[in-house]
């Protein structure tokens, strides 16, 4: 008779924060542009352009990014500079000229704010109907702020303490969270409402804590949201995902920060209790992985038993090159990170500056995949997070003599749509789902009627 096997239990090895240097966090916003020393090498006009753009779109950068990741010999082409510092082209010419004129003429705050708010509303601050269609309601019909429930198995939670980031991405599709307009924010400080909602929805298996960036929170606040999920009534929550850019923007959060050990212990406790903990790391370029601090933070997070999955959009001026993606995916695999998604830049904010046509996006994805081994081919994409669902561009092909784009749902508002292929007319200029039309003379997509009915119902409820 074989010996009875004991269950495997994760045995973490604590690597204490005292092993790492305590690096002070120093951040700059728009009002600090003149204090960022390397910018003195730019012309007065370039610095003025930054001021204009950052009046409309949020700007925040920290000293680590300035010192460790930006190649100041390659400005403005450096990809990390493009990732964090405003460029004139990020505003449409008419928007730029309007704000620039007001600033040059010394317009008052009221007049300038009014113009800026008008421009922001033209930039589609909440794409994919997320305010109207993704926000659930309680039994009394009240909207549950800070929670989104678009797909059956997954709930997104936006804790109020995590509604900023250590730096801001210039292309961020959640830029509206950071411009100081409460009407444009999605946030909640109510752990009770989150837990009550999850308890009432046993079909939910995954919780994604997002923002902003939850890793700007103190570990004790994050624990207040997550540790209750270890109780038996939350056994249906199998996976806890934490969306973060901190492994790039502030890896010292996991190293020498005052509560870095508390954060690491929290991840360990969740893993030990049987939860799958996925750190959904946002990466846009291999340079973000290529510092000592970044790699030390990755090792420390992985040491908890959490899995790091990497995702990010394909964006012009930063990573629209298959060699960049191939090198990034290879380095991620080397460091023990799972490549997860290549997204298409969303239709919001400075989209006109960053977007890459879908055909070109697929070509970049394909050429990058050809350069990596099977372990890096876990990255799905290019994927559009559109209102109906996550739509993947699978390729360009010819069917019955017609050149088409092959598409499929990776995720959908109706799970029955998932993995069902459909086809769009070939279009080299299209950069989003609503730019495409069905192939073969079809008037509507196979999912269109059902989606329209879902949308009409959701929007009707949202207006009441």
- Residues 26-46: tens digit of each pLDDT: 999 999 999 999 999 999 999
* Mean pLDDT (whole number) for 189-215: 93
Q: Are 409 and 389 in contact (CB under 8 A)?
A: yes
* Mean pLDDT (whole number) for 87-91: 96
* Residue 450 pLDDT class (50, 70, 90 cuts): very high
Q: What is the pLDDT of residue 3?
A: 46
* Residue 88 pLDDT class (50, 70, 90 cuts): very high
Helix residue spans in 77-173 (DSSP H): 79-84, 93-104, 109-122, 130-133
Look at phi and psi of residue 129 and say left if phi exceeds 0, alpha if psi is from -120 to 50, else beta: left
- Look at 141-150, 180-189, 407-416 and tell me which has the smallest mean pLDDT: 180-189
Per-residue pLDDT at 286 exceeds 50: yes
CA distance 422 to 405: 9
- Look at 190-199, 213-222, 337-346 and tell me which has the smallest mean pLDDT: 190-199
Q: What is the pLDDT of residue 181?
A: 58
Of 44, 23, 18, give the one whose Cα is nearest residue 33: 44
Per-residue pLDDT at 152 exceeds 90: yes
* Mean pLDDT (whole number) for 184-209: 85
Q: Are 389 and 452 in contact (CB under 8 A)?
A: no
**Average pLDDT score over the chain:** 91
* Residue 163 pLDDT class (50, 70, 90 cuts): confident
Sorted by where each begins, the domain ranges of the chain are 22-122
- pLDDT tens-digit profile of 375-384? 999 999 999 9
Per-residue pLDDT at 127 exceeds 90: no
- pLDDT tens-digit profile of 315-367? 999 999 999 999 999 999 999 999 999 999 988 888 999 999 999 999 999 99
Per-residue pLDDT at 4 exceeds 60: no
* Mean pLDDT (whole number) for 416-421: 96
Residue 376, token pair as written in the block: 């890096």
* Mean pLDDT (whole number) for 76-103: 97
Tell me the C-alpha to C-alpha distance, in Å, between residue 144 and each of 169, 231, 367, 432, 460.
27, 23, 43, 29, 16
Q: CA torsion 410→244→225→201, rounded to 10°?
A: -10
* Residue 452 pLDDT class (50, 70, 90 cuts): very high
Q: What is the pLDDT of residue 443?
A: 95
Per-residue pLDDT at 282 exceeds 90: yes
- Look at 12-21, 77-86, 250-259, 345-354 and tell me which has the smallest mean pLDDT: 12-21
Per-residue pLDDT at 185 exceeds 80: no
Residue 423, token pair as written in the block: 């086809």
Q: What is the pLDDT of residue 459?
A: 75
CA distance 343 to 362: 11
Q: What is the pLDDT of residue 330?
A: 98
Per-residue pLDDT at 416 exceeds 70: yes
Output DSSP code: residue 125. Answer: S
Q: What is the pLDDT of residue 180?
A: 67
- pLDDT tens-digit profile of 426-446? 999 999 999 999 999 999 999
* Mean pLDDT (whole number) for 204-209: 98
* Radius of gyration (C-alpha) of the chain in whole angstroms: 23
CA distance 14 to 254: 12
Q: What is the pLDDT of residue 130?
A: 63
CA 204 to mean position of chain CA atoms? 21
Q: What is the pLDDT of residue 89?
A: 97
* Residue 184 pLDDT class (50, 70, 90 cuts): very low
């Amino acid at each position: 008779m074989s010996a009875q096997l004991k269950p495997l239990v994760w045995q973490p090895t604590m690597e204490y924060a005292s092993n790492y240097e305590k690096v002070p966090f120093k951040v700059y916003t728009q009002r600090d542009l003149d204090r960022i020393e390397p910018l003195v090498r730019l012309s007065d006009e370039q610095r003025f352009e930054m001021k204009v753009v950052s009046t409309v779109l949020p700007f925040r950068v920290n000293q680590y990014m300035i010192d460790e990741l930006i190649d100041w010999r390659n400005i403005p082409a450096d990809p990390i500079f493009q990732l964090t510092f405003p460029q004139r082209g990020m505003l449409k010419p008419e928007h730029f000229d309007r704000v620039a004129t007001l600033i040059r003429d010394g317009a008052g705050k009221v007049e300038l704010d009014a113009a800026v708010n008008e421009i922001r509303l033209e930039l589609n601050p909440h794409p994919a109907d997320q305010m109207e269609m993704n926000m659930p309601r309680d039994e009394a019909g009240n909207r549950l702020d800070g929670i989104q429930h678009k797909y059956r198995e997954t709930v997104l939670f936006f804790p109020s303490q995590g509604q900023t980031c250590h730096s801001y991405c210039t292309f961020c599709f959640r830029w509206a969270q950071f411009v100081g307009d409460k009407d444009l924010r999605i946030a909640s400080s109510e752990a009770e409402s989150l837990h009550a909602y999850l308890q009432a929805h046993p079909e939910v298996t995954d919780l994604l804590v997002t923002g902003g960036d939850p890793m700007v929170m103190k570990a004790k606040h994050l624990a207040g949201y997550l540790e209750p999920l270890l109780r038996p009534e939350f056994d249906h929550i199998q996976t806890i995902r934490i969306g973060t850019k901190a492994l790039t923007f502030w890896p010292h959060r996991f190293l020498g920060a005052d509560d870095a050990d508390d954060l690491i212990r929290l991840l360990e406790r969740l893993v030990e209790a049987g939860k799958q903990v996925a750190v959904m790391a946002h990466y846009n370029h291999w340079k973000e992985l290529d510092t000592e601090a970044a790699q030390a933070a990755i090792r420390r997070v992985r040491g908890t038993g959490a899995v790091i999955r990497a995702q990010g959009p394909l964006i012009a001026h930063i990573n629209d090159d298959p060699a960049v993606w191939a090198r990034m995916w290879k380095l991620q695999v080397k460091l023990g990170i799972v490549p997860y998604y290549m997204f298409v830049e969303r239709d919001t904010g400075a989209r006109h500056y960053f977007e890459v046509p879908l055909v070109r996006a697929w070509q970049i994805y394909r050429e990058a995949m050809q350069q990596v081994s099977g372990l890096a081919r876990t990255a799905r994409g290019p994927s559009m997070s559109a209102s109906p669902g996550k739509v993947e561009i699978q390729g360009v092909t010819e069917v019955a003599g017609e050149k088409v784009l092959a598409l499929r749902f990776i995720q959908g508002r109706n799970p029955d749509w998932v993995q069902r292929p459909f086809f769009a007319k070939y279009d080299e200029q299209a950069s989003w789902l609503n730019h495409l039309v069905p192939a073969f003379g079809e008037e509507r997509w196979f999912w269109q009627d059902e989606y329209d009915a879902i949308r009409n119902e959701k929007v009707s409820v949202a207006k009441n």
